[in-house]
Amino acid sequence: MPIENIAAKLLDFLSMKRVFFYLGIVLLSAATGAATVGVASNYFGDLKELAADRHNISNTSFAARSNSDTVFASQTINTDYPDLTYAAEHAVKAVVNIEAITEVASRQYADPLLEFFGFPQGSYGGGMREARTGGSGVIISEDGYIVTNNHVVENAKKLRVKLHDGRAFDGVVIGTDPTTDVALIKIEAEELPMLTFGSSDELRLGEWVLAIGYPMELQSTITAGIVSAKARQLGALNTPNGIESFIQTDAAVNPGNSGGALVNTRGELVGINTIIKTSTGSYVGYSFAVPETIVRKVVIDLKESGVVQRAVLGISFRAVDQTFIDEMGESTGVESIGGIYVASVSEDGAASEAGIRKGDVILKMNGHTLTDAAVFLEQMGQQRPGDKVTFEVRRGDKTINLTATLRNKAGRTELLTRDDVDVTAALGGKFATASAKLCDQLDIRGGVQVTHINRGGLLERARVKEGFIITHINDKVVLSVEELDRLTEKISSIDGIYPNGRASSYMIVE
């Protein structure tokens, strides 16, 4: 066959192969496309079904699906989080900023030139200057009564109160209570937004609360958290006989929040933010508030009589915890944790009159179980002189019920008046009963030693030095801190002795 015919046939064959090749590609593409469309249809259909499933299970129960016979426990998705908007928007209007203006000593410096020429080395350029500190407060009446912390207004020459709406007023201190770190001030205004008291007793662990104040010069800051603990005792109040039963929360509180509001989800005042526990000076996770039960009582006392009506039972005590059991359980016969162990009873006090005896364990007060010292102090902090309170007491193997009529610090059942003086607060310091060894060395029967002197008190003004042992006030013998606390007369004279044996007398002139 001629070579030309062979070439022509070969070209025809290759042309047919190309047609079948392209046809194969087309058919394969079509098949693949159909499969792809089917897969995509199934995929997006599954997504659509999944989205529908997710929509259908919102706020409902669902069970895990399985092809096996295994039964899975149903679970619940809960999206009913607390709505804090009403509480926040309502309460923030009643929280104020308080600027306290105090006098402090100016920075003093030594003059090296005078020292070089032999002049006595002293301080030069001293004097007093104004210092401004900030805190928060809560309006509790439409006519301008505001509750805050004692440490916010302590020693203030002037108070400036700024409201949420921008208005500012001068404030006047109505009364203070260092024992609970609560103070009441007043501004002259009408129809103010205010907060009503809620119930701190009804707060539950895990319940949501809001902290509102003016921290770090920020206006009207609101933070949220939960109640982490109740009846916390920290030993943080820098005052004798401090009453601590704090509400602990994890709402962020910083310097400037002091005196601000702790409110529940209904916008009710359940505490006054007071302390943060921190090693840095700023919030690190724990904040503490004075509970409403104490705040309300102190505010009523200060408003009505200008003085806090502190009730006294007349015992010294210790909480019955594991440490007590380990240290004193065998000697006291107390075997189980819980309650307040009565370590001593004042001869003429309310407890003695009611029949409470040394060695008793007080289990309940007015029906409240006393789990620790803080709960007992909170319950006592709500009482007034003259109030009758009931106690459930364990004595040995018996449980008995007793009723006591509480007294004031002077041993009477009457309420105190503005003329009665808190001598410990008026002196302005910290005190300790003089030790037996020190009394023997100085040949005295007893006394109260000054361990610290606060600014602005009578001790500082009279130039009494730390270490001084007070033996008489107003010519009355003072043998212990307990006897000092009972005094209510205005102080006119202080007598005592220094540890080196030098006797001194100080006359107080107002």
Instruction: Copy the structure tokens of residue 321.
Output: 């915890």
Beta bridge partners of 212: 222, 261
Query: Both tokens of residue 101?
Result: 């203006």
Mark whether 101 and 214 lie in a shared domain.
Answer: yes
* 295 plus 325 within the same structural domain: no
- pLDDT tier for residue 422 given thresholds of 50, 70 and 90: confident
Domain membership flag for residue 410: no
Instruction: Compute the half-sphere exposure of residue 235: CA atoms within 13 Å on the CB side of its CA.
Output: 0
276: tokens are 């943060």
**Residue 34 lies inside a defined structural domain of this protein:** yes
Q: Which backbone phi and psi does 426 adopt, to 5 degrees?
A: -65, -40
Same domain assignment for residues 234 and 345: no
Residue 417 falls inside a structural domain = no
Higher-confidence residue of 329 and 425: namely: 329
Pick from 17-21, 65-69, 311-315, 352-356: least confident = 65-69
Position 76 in a domain:
no
Average pLDDT score over residue span 136-158:
95
Give the pLDDT confidence score for residue 78 in this predicted structure. 52
Instruction: List Cβ neighbours of 145 (8 Å cut-off, separation of 6 or more).
Output: 139, 174, 184, 185, 186, 299, 303
| Residue 58 sits in the same domain as residue 90 | no
Using CA atoms, how far residue 330 sits from 105, 313, 341, in Å, is: 54, 27, 14
- What range defines the domain where residue 258 resides? 82-308
69 in any annotated domain: no
pLDDT at 114 over 50: no
Residue 164 lies in a domain: yes
Domain boundary pick from 370, 405, 440: 405
CATH number at residue 320: 2.30.42.10
206 and 324 part of one domain: no
- Residue 1 scores a pLDDT above 60: no
Query: Is 73 domain-assigned?
Result: no
Quick one: pLDDT at residue 410? 81
Q: Are residues 251 and 374 in the same domain?
A: no
Nearest to 233 by CA among 383, 406, 381: 381
Residue 84: its pLDDT value, please? 93
429-482 confidence digits (pLDDT tens):
889 999 999 999 999 999 999 999 987 789 998 999 999 999 999 999 999 988
Distance CA 501, CA 510 (A): 28
* The token pair that represents 20 in the structure block: 């079948």
Does 361 score more than 50 pLDDT? yes
Nearest to 133 by CA among 258, 280, 275, 221: 258
Could you tell me what percent of the chain has a pLDDT over 90?
59
Which residues on neighbouring strands pair with residue 54, listed in sequence order? none
Which residues face 170 on adjacent strands? 160
More confident residue, 106 or 384: 384
Do 474 and 497 lie in one domain? The reply is: yes
Position 105 scores a pLDDT of 66
- Alpha carbon distance 396, 440 (integer Å): 38
- What pLDDT score was predicted for residue 489? 86
- Predicted local distance difference test score (pLDDT) of residue 93: 96
The total of structural domains in the chain comes to 4
Flag whether pLDDT at 231 surpasses 80.
yes
Write down the residue that tokens 């009477």 correspond to: 412
Query: 269 with 198: CB under 8 angstroms?
Result: yes
Residue 284 has which token pair? 């690190």
Encode burial over 238-264: b for 16+ CB neighbours within 10 A, e otherwise: ebbebbbbbbbbbbbbbbbbbbbbbbb
| Whole-prediction pTM | 0.71
Return the pLDDT at 80.
66
Closest Cα to residue 334, out of 401, 393, 400?
393
Reported for 369-372, long-range contacts at CB under 8 A and 24+ positions apart, including other chains, are: 369/338, 370/338, 370/339, 370/340, 371/231, 371/338, 372/231, 372/233, 372/319, 372/321
Q: Is the pLDDT of residue 17 over 90?
A: no
Q: What pLDDT is stored for residue 428 in this prediction? A: 86
Mean per-residue pLDDT for 15-27?
46
In angstroms, the Cα distances linking 184 to 32, 85, 99, 138, 178 are 83, 28, 15, 10, 12
pLDDT at 445 (0 to 100): 93
**Final residue of a domain: which of 62, 91, 112?**
62
The region of weakest confidence among 164-173, 251-260, 452-461 is 452-461
The average pLDDT across 106-126 equals: 51
- Average pLDDT over the chain reads 82
Residue 112 pLDDT class (50, 70, 90 cuts): low
Percent of the chain with pLDDT over 70: 79
Which residues are annotated as catalytic? Answer: 151, 181, 258
Together in a domain, 341 and 460? no
> Domain for residue 121, yes or no?
yes
pLDDT score of 355: 96
Dig out the tokens for 69 from the structure.
């016979």
Domain boundary among 249, 275, 308: 308
pLDDT value of residue 108: 56
Q: What is the secondary structure of 344-369 as a DSSP string?
A: EE-TTSHHHHHT--TT-EEEEETTEE
Residue 254: pLDDT above 70?
Answer: yes
Q: For the purposes of burial, counting CB atoms within 10 Å of the CB of 374, is it exposed (0-12), middle (13-18) or buried (19 or more)?
A: buried
Please identify which residue in the block is written with the tokens 């943080």. Answer: 236
> The domain that contains 180 carries what CATH number?
2.40.10.120
Which backbone phi and psi does 414 adopt, to 5 degrees? -75, 155
Please, which residues bridge with residue 211 across strands? 223, 262
Exposure pattern of 32-48 as b/e (b: 16+ CB <10 Å)? eeeeeeeeeeeeeeeee
Lowest-confidence segment of 4-13, 65-74, 376-385, 412-421 by average pLDDT: 65-74
Q: What are phi and psi of 412, to 5 degrees?
A: -110, 160
Residues 159 and 221 in one domain: yes
Top-confidence residue, 350 or 25: 350
User: Are residue 251 and residue 340 in the same domain, yes or no?
Assistant: no
287 and 364 inside one domain: no
How sure is the predictor about 425, in pLDDT bands with cuts at 50, 70 and 90?
Answer: confident
pLDDT at 109: 53
28 shares its domain with 168: no
